[in-house]
């Protein structure tokens, strides 16, 4: 469960990121060029009260293994 930083209420989780004009979404990576490591696709949580948007990663274990 995620709590909004602004109003401390419970946020709605598990939204997907879509970039307007394309269906590519956003992926986090580390490093540059062809050797960049691909990390987990971020998810989005939205506060239903104030509209605060929070990005988060579901599976942190995957990132630690990539270190």
Binding site residues, Zn ion, CB under 5 A? 4, 6-7, 47, 49-50, 52
Residue number, 25 or 51, with CB nearest to Zn ion: 51
CB-wise, 1 or 64, nearer to Zn ion?
1
Please give the helix or strand (H or E) that residue 12 lies within, else none: strand 12-15
- Other C-beta atoms closer than 10 Å to the C-beta of 30 total 12
Q: Which residue, 5 or 29, is less far from Zn ion as judged by CB?
A: 5
Least spacing, CB of residue 22 vs Zn ion, in Å:
29
Q: Dmax over Cα atoms in the chain, in whole Å? A: 41
């Amino acid at each position: 469960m995620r709590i909004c930083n602004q109003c401390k209420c419970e946020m709605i989780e598990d939204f997907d990121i879509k970039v307007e004009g394309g269906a590519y979404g956003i992926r986090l990576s580390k490093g540059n060029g062809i050797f960049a490591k691909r990390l987990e696709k971020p998810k989005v949580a939205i506060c239903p009260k104030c509209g605060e948007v929070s990005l988060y990663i579901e599976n942190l274990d995957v990132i630690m293994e990539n270190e």
